[in-house]
Amino acid sequence: MSKQEVLMSDQTTAPEVAEEDRLRADLYDYLGLVLSGPPDETLLKQTAALKGNETELGTAIAALSRIAGLSKPRTVESEFNALFIGLGRGELLPYASYYLTGFLNEKPLAGLRRDMAVRGMTRAQNVYEPEDNIASLMEMMAGLIRGRFGKPASLTDQKTFYNKHIGPWAGHFFTDLEAAKNSVLYASVGAVGRVFMVIEAEGFRMSAD
């Protein structure tokens, strides 16, 4: 990813994955990147160049592209700070523990850390956020799909990780992000994430164990 990468990996080259899975990983990686810090001018330009289609996800991506084309880095930085940092705390707390228990650093984080260790995932040394933040989890899913931490995870393992650590709360978070009073660009990020989580949940539901 970029300087905002939140996980360490011993992989120098990622194994080949199917095109459909690569596209899924690309979107997870994008969400992880844009939620880990305010996008710079380069990322805004890349976002503005995205093309949608007539699907619900494509429509959400097209809307995000349009808003990114009108956005300036300084304005988006102020938006990000209001949403996630604030004076004391931002408008939203993007952590699994908070969404699932109402408190930070609770059992969901401990369970995630155990599952990260089993899969060879390690938090980068310069990152101090709890691992159950939404940006890290998006990056983890991308890494599992791509095989950044070993072999690409099987669909069953992806499903297990998603259902335990992402599915129970990420859709609620993205809905909150879409509706947050400080969201402008991030309202469209929330819409993309919300629709993508529905697609992923349905795909895993239909897959055989």
Domains of the chain, start order? 17-206 (1.10.3480.10)
Q: What percent of the chain has pLDDT over 70?
A: 92
**Complete DSSP assignment for 106-124:** -HHHHHHHHHHHHTT-EE-
Tokens, residue 135: 């940006």
- pLDDT at residue number 88: 78
In the chain, the amino acid numbered 193 is G
How does pLDDT run across 44-54, given as a tens digit for each residue?
999 999 999 99
Contacts of 64 by beta carbon, 8 Å cutoff, 6+ apart: 47, 50, 185, 188, 189, 191, 192
- pLDDT at residue number 190: 98
Burial of 42 (C-beta count, 10 Å sphere; 0-12/13-18/19+): exposed
- pLDDT at residue number 4: 42
Over the chain, what is the mean pLDDT? 91
Answer whether residue 2 shows pLDDT above 50.
no
How does pLDDT run across 79-107, given as a tens digit for each residue?
999 999 987 789 999 999 999 999 999 99
β-sheet bridge partners, residue 105: none
Length of the chain counted residue by residue: 209
d(CA 118, CA 129): 20
The secondary element (H helix, E strand) that includes residue 185 is helix 185-206
How does pLDDT run across 13-30, given as a tens digit for each residue?
455 789 999 999 999 999
- pLDDT at residue number 136: 96
d(CA 78, CA 86): 9
Tokens, residue 201: 């949940």
d(CA 136, CA 97): 13
